[in-house]
Amino acid sequence: MFGYFYHEIIKKTIISFGNIFNQIEIHHKNESDKTVSVLKVPLAYGPIQKFLARIEQDPTALKPIKMTLPRMSFEMIGLTYDSSRKSTTIQTFISNANKRVYMPTPYNIQFELNILAKLNEDALQIVEQILPYFQPNYNLTLDLSDLIDDKKDIPITLESVTFTDEYEGDFTKRRAIIYTLRFTAKIYLYGPVAEPNNIIKKATLDYMSGVNSKKRELRYSVTPRATKDYDNDATTTLSIDIDDLTKYISVGDATSISKGNRIYVNTEQMYVESVNANNLVVIRGYENSISTAHVAGTSINLITANDDVLIDPEDNFGFNETTTFFQDFKEYSASQNEDM
């Protein structure tokens, strides 16, 4: 059912998340407020239970070996679908690497960062070097896939900060102060990537015509143009009901609509002939779309260049056409005959 693909997006996100915290230091000072030692705080991937066990580890009765504090650990603790960022499942786009890709699926990764220290002063130094950067988001720019060449800002949100002091039992038990910070990273997961071999991006035709052995050159170029909305930009809404013949329509806000624009209402394309405040004069059923009745509150989408790059190869689409002539063919032919 599924073909193989692997973009390493989750792996890249985990590594990049850890790299945010791998340059943290603590400074120890003497009574004169002079720094006497600087310690880079170690960071490792793993669950907090593993590190707490290592703190109390005693592999031999004669030579106890314990973990050095302070240190930090982090791990991925959850992966959930984010319906609030959902886009049309069958919508595709052409990536920067000229690949056809289905719109990515939004997921949230939950992370837990644990700060372990023996002294509260050490723990507070670490915490204060982290919290100011999350208000509550910190944006991380990732190249999610080498095949797609699509860089995205991944927001890392600080969800909560909790504190525990593991200091139970007698005086021989080692103390462990633990700050636990929970984060959410909003990522996108891409499916398989394909070459856009079945869609025309641009076609150019050169040909020569002549009269009495005289040559004439004409260049004709076409590029695909969307005839419907793909990106659901929700530019505005209808203010009143309209039937299938109404050419004068009122909208909620026409500030983003200009004369010459094409708008998409349900499945009907309209051409804007004029704009006056929030009132439009339009050509109905434009480009062979079907003119139908629409009710107030219906979403109106602009058809723009952004939609052109999202054209699905299975759709029927129009063309933007440009033709370069030297002059009218009849006049040209007459002038060539005179030259003869």
DSSP reduced 3-state for 28:
strand
Q: Which of 53-67, 169-183, 210-224 tops mean pLDDT?
A: 169-183
Parts of the chain belonging to CATH 3.30.2000.40: 9-194
Task: Please say if the pLDDT value at position 168 is more than 70.
Answer: no
The greatest distance separating any two alpha carbons of the chain, rounded to the nearest whole angstrom, comes to 115
Mean pLDDT of 238-252: 92
DSSP reduced 3-state for 42:
coil
Q: What are the tens digits of pLDDT across the range 78-119?
A: 999 998 887 665 555 555 556 666 778 899 999 999 999 888
Q: Residue 194 has what pLDDT?
A: 65
Please tell us whether the domain made up of 9-194 is placed in CATH 3.40.50.720: no
Give the DSSP per-residue string, 163-217. Answer: EEEE--SSTTSPPEEEEEEEEEEEEEE---EE--TTS-S-EEEEEEEEETTEEEE
Exposure string (b/e) for 17-45, b if CB count within 10 Å is 16 or more? Answer: bbebbeebebeeeeeeeeeeeeeebebee
Distance CA 322, CA 217 (A): 14
Q: Residue 305 has what pLDDT?
A: 83
Mean pLDDT of 30-53: 82
Q: What are the tens digits of pLDDT across the range 299-329?
A: 999 988 888 777 765 566 666 655 554 444 4
Q: Residue 35 has what pLDDT?
A: 86
Query: Of the ranges 155-159, 174-178, 238-242, 274-278, which one carries the lowest mean pLDDT score?
Result: 174-178
- Average per-residue pLDDT for the chain: 78
CB atoms within 10 A of CB 235: 21
